[in-house]
Amino acid sequence: MVSAMRERAILVRDLRMSYGPVEAVRGISFEVDKGEVFGLLGPNGAGKTSTVEILEGYRRRTGGEASVLGFDPAARPRELRQQIGIVTQEGGFYPRATVREGVELAGLPYPSPRDPGETLELVGLADRGEVRVQDLSGGQRRRLDLALALVGDPGLVFLDEPTTGFDPAARRAAWEVVRKLAELGKTVLLTTHYLEEAQALCDRVAIVKDGLVVAEGPPGSLGPGTAGYRVSWRENGSRVEHLTDDPTEFLNRVTGEALADGRTLEELQVSRPSLEDVYLDLTEEAAR
């Protein structure tokens, strides 16, 4: 019988990394179970990429422990490299190659790669094999990223900011990629600075700021949570703000009152809580 015990894919304990005098990672700890989608969520400069690159074996840590599938990534063992897939934001390979060539190349380092044609079919690019990578649309590039991550059939996939700077269509394709990986039972470590993305994709999230984990848990449990909108407008020269779970009802009421009084709500805005709001919330919580 298969044991129901959780199996660990990644262990990071008190991880530290400096670029000269710049301490980018200042004691990060987290664990990822096999089959989990785990997110490192944080603003630019938080230390996400540095952490991921240490786990991929591309950077040396200056302190702490790191274990990936039971290996020390710093030693870059071939056995480990053959079990991980890496998707960088840039795609990181020859833009002039055809899609099929790209997938074939990506499969080379692995002991038992999937068939390239089958891999392209899996991600919905079966009819794009002879197209040059540089001629793909943004959404098709995301599908290709999935193909590159899948062709080696790795158990663990690293995705560094998989949607930063994408238009909505490309973002949807990238989200599909991650969900597909999860369906296939892969372990995924992704980084993002979009709260919404972490909420949509991750089983658990560690919020990273200034090289430290400031909170960790299922995304719904962090900060203001999934509910909550901020409605604001300008009044007598200053900004008025309200938080509400039901912006439809709230807006109907305040705009109704304003119209009845012959007032205008200047610069009226509705927005979701930002990552900054989550940080503020967490910092306040920590101070309580």
- Which residues of this chain interact with Mg ion, rule CB under 5 A? 48-49
| CB 104, min distance to ligand ADP, A | 30
281, containing H or E segment = helix 275-287
Among 3, 21, 44, 185, binds ligand ADP (CB under 6 A): 44
Among 6, 7, 13, 22, binds ligand ADP (CB under 6 A): 22
Pick one of ligand ADP, Mg ion, none as the site partner of residue 46 (Cβ within 5 to 8 A by kind). ligand ADP
Binding string, 185-224, against ligand ADP, x = CB under 6 A? ----------------------------------------
Pick one of ligand ADP, Mg ion, none as the site partner of residue 24 (Cβ within 5 to 8 A by kind). ligand ADP
Residue 190 is classified by DSSP as E
Q: Which SS3 state, helix, strand or coil, does residue 82 take?
A: coil
| CB 161, min distance to Mg ion, A | 6
Among 10, 15, 24, 177, binds ligand ADP (CB under 6 A): 24
Q: How far is CA 185 from the centre of its chain?
A: 17
Q: Which SS3 state, helix, strand or coil, does residue 84 take?
A: strand
Pick one of ligand ADP, Mg ion, none as the site partner of residue 240 (Cβ within 5 to 8 A by kind). none
Binding residues for ligand ADP, total number by CB under 6 A: 11
Range 47-76, binding ligand ADP (CB under 6 A): 47-50
Nearer to ligand ADP, 44 or 238 (CB): 44
Nearer to Mg ion, 40 or 84 (CB): 40
Find out whether 199 and 241 touch, Cβ atoms under 8 Å: no
Stretch that binds ligand ADP, among 41-49, 96-104, 131-139, 143-151 (CB under 6 A): 41-49
DSSP for 92-145 reads -S-TTSBHHHHHHHHHTTSSSPPPHHHHHHHTT-GGGTTSBGGGS-HHHHHHHH
DSSP for 13-60 reads EEEEEEETTEEEEEEEEEEEETT-EEEEE--TTSSHHHHHHHHHTSS-
Strand partners, 39: 190, 205
Of 53, 58, 51, nearest in space to 13 by CA: 51
Residues in contact with ligand ADP by CB under 6 A are 19, 22, 24, 42, 44-50
